[in-house]
Amino acid sequence: MTTDVHQEHANDSFLSKQRIIAHPGFNRWLVPPAALAIHLCIGMAYGFSVFWLPLSKALGIKEAIKCGPEIGFFQELFVTSCDWKISTLGWMYTLFFVLLGSSAALWGGWLERVGPRKAGVVSAFCWCGGMLISALGVYMHQFWLMLLGSGVIGGIGLGLGYISPVSTLIKWFPDRRGMATGMAIMGFGGGAMIGSPLAAELMKVFASDTNVGVMQTFIVMACIYFVFMMGGALSYRVPATGWMPKGWTPPATQGNNAMITHGHVHVSKVWGIPQFWLVWMVLCMNVSAGIGVIGMSSPMLQEVFGGALIGVDAKFVDLDKTQLTAIAGVAAGFTALLSLFNIGGRFVWASFSDKLGRKLTYVVFFVLGGILYASIPASAGAGSKLLFVAAFCIILSMYGGGFATVPAYLADLFGTQMVGAIHGRLLTAWATAGIVGPVVVNYMRDYQLGLGLPREQVYNQTMYILVGMLVIGLICNLLIKPVNDKYFMTDAELAHEKQLAHERATASDVGASDAAFHQNKAALVWAAWAAVGIPLAWGIYRTALSVAKFFN
């Protein structure tokens, strides 16, 4: 008995799950800003393309020093005499999301057992350490170091950071599961809104006649991100076993709540459960269609409307260089507008799902989305910019909403005990969609151009293919039913899993030092939200400036 107690306290390290069990009176609204602090940092993965153009001139500075035809991709990994192609640099972006999905799937179970603090700290070291290794790669002009740093190590940090708050937030907000996860995952979508303009400003400061400023920018951003991510990770708290919001009781399983289970599925069993694969297809189809639209939105706007974007009666192919530059600026504003809807949709749709139910919310995504995709060729043919832009904005809001709603969907179906680990495995659907969506869209565009179709018509067929993806997603969603009782853990298995996850009914004594600091401190809540809200507001402001170019 004495040995067990001694061993238990020996395991109560600063990063252990035991140390972050919340005390009575802890304000649960301190947890979402902790999650946002991490997601706003790793969300810069979406904005890494801001580095591609400067890096493609890392040696030449003003003009790229092109590699000879004898330099293939593998030679580019080590070559020091010529600049990297933008297509080569794009492989880092691919690695981000492949590693995000695979690392989340691999270490999701570990995360559930060690808790969000340790996972958040590991995420911070991987993401920020990866940026520092990338900075070394820029300095040495070794692309393999950049792939290892930001691509592989940073990608692992992405996966762990992305799923680190999911289970915790769902347990803190059983009454508002969708809203809680929507707040955090909104941060991942908003990370590029802060990081991209910040990186652009830093590169201006550090650029010189002999340096494009990317290496220094990586170092500064890694340091800033490390502070925010560690602050978020160390601020995580988990509720005591059985904790529920004051005055709230679990809903009866009826109506919109018929899908909400009171049992818990072990992560090791989900591969064999039909509902998991149906949700997998739901996410994969929603994301595949959305990623396809994101990738084509800017060129599609320019090629469909051409000179009409700047008041010139001319098609895209008839514009001169100055006019092309002008409509590219308008298209950049359009892309910025879509990013706002992508982020806002993550919070709004996920919050709506608490009222509508997760299944009905996805029905709306697929039905309304299908109608909007199908309407785009007509609005483009009619030259209606208003209908065209409105359709894209709503589509992007539902794309983001799909990401934010799915963790709550999983908790409804499979229980909350291991929802973070299950969510990690589901993210393999994201990695798959990241390949399927762009490949389908790019292939179809090239195929249509090869047939000799005008540029303003090459996207029509693609839109109907994306509608087909949404129909598949709709069918899969309609087939989802409550999980069979045979897949749930027994009381003994659940108790064992809770023991492995170091769950306790009350907070550990070793964590008592911060009880008074956190208890009922409204000022602390405001400070926590300001720490993440001010940077996010700045990012929205910078994005709004780009959006203004579109409307002007």
- Fold classified for 256-492: Growth Hormone; Chain: A; (1.20.1250)
| Residues near 529 by beta carbon (within 8 Å), at least 6 away in sequence | 29, 33
Q: Within 10 Å of residue 241's Cβ, how many Cβ atoms? A: 13
Q: Which two tokens stand for residue 134?
A: 């990338």
Residue labelled with tokens 């695979």 = 102
Residue type, 314: A
In the chain, % of residues over pLDDT 70: 92
Average pLDDT of the residues in 368-384: 90
Give the up-direction half-sphere exposure of residue 451: CA atoms within 13 A in the CB hemisphere. Answer: 12
Distance CA 179, CA 407 (A): 11
Contact status, residue 503 vs residue 242, Cβ threshold 8 Å = no
Residues, the chain, total? 552
Band the pLDDT of 63: cuts 50, 70, 90: confident
**If you compute the radius of gyration of the chain from its CA atoms, what whole number of angstroms results?**
24
Q: Which of 224, 228, 232 is nearest to 202 (CA)?
A: 224
Inform me whether the pLDDT recorded for 2 exceeds 70.
no
Distance CA 28, CA 32 (A): 8
Q: Which two tokens stand for residue 410?
A: 């999983």
Mean pLDDT score across all residues of the chain: 87
| 124-171: pLDDT as tens digits | 999 999 999 999 999 999 999 999 999 999 999 999 999 999 889 999
| 229-279: pLDDT as tens digits | 999 999 999 998 888 898 888 766 544 455 788 889 999 999 999 999 999
Residue labelled with tokens 């405001």 = 526
Q: Which residues pair with 238 in a beta bridge?
A: 21
CA 171 to chain CA mean position, Å: 21
Distance CA 24, CA 22 (A): 7
Q: Which residues pair with 265 in a beta bridge?
A: 488
CA 80 to chain CA mean position, Å: 34
Q: In degrees to the nearest 10, what's the CA dihedral of 340, 342, 344, 347? A: -160
Q: Within 10 Å of residue 161's Cβ, how many Cβ atoms? A: 32
pLDDT at 3: 44
Question: Over 380-405, what HEC string results?
Answer: HHCCCHHHHHHHHHHHHHHHHHHHHH
Statement: 28-245+521-552 belongs to CATH 3.30.9.10: no
Domains 28-245+521-552 and 256-492 share a fold: yes
pLDDT at 406: 96
Average pLDDT of the residues in 335-361: 92
| 401-414: pLDDT as tens digits | 999 999 999 999 99
pLDDT at 311: 83
Distance CA 118, CA 36 (A): 16
Q: Which two tokens stand for residue 354?
A: 């608490």
Q: Can you spell out the DSSP letters for 492-541?
A: HHHHHHHHHTT--SS--GGGGGGHHHHBT-HHHHHHHHHHHHHHHHHHHH
Distance CA 330, CA 343 (A): 20
Distance CA 387, CA 372 (A): 9
pLDDT at 269: 93
Average pLDDT of the residues in 347-372: 95
Q: Which residues pair with 21 in a beta bridge?
A: 238
| 69-78: pLDDT as tens digits | 888 888 888 9
Q: Which residue has the higher pLDDT, 514 or 361?
A: 361
Band the pLDDT of 96: cuts 50, 70, 90: confident
Report domain extents, the chain: 28-245+521-552, 256-492
pLDDT at 510: 40
pLDDT at 4: 45
pLDDT at 456: 66
Question: Over 248-273, what HEC string results?
Answer: CCCCCCCHHHCCCCCCCECHHHHHHC
Inform me whether the pLDDT recorded for 1 exceeds 60.
no
Question: Over 302-343, what HEC string results?
Answer: HHHHHHHHHCCCCCHHHCCHHHHHHHHHHHHHHHHHHHHHHH
Band the pLDDT of 215: cuts 50, 70, 90: very high
Exposure b/e, 478-500, CB count within 10 A at least 16 = b: eebeebeeebbbeeeebeebeee
Q: Which of 29, 184, 56, 38 is nearest to 118 (CA)?
A: 38
| 466-481: pLDDT as tens digits | 999 999 999 999 999 9
Inform me whether the pLDDT recorded for 506 exceeds 60.
no
Q: Which of 264, 231, 262 is nearest to 495 (CA)?
A: 264
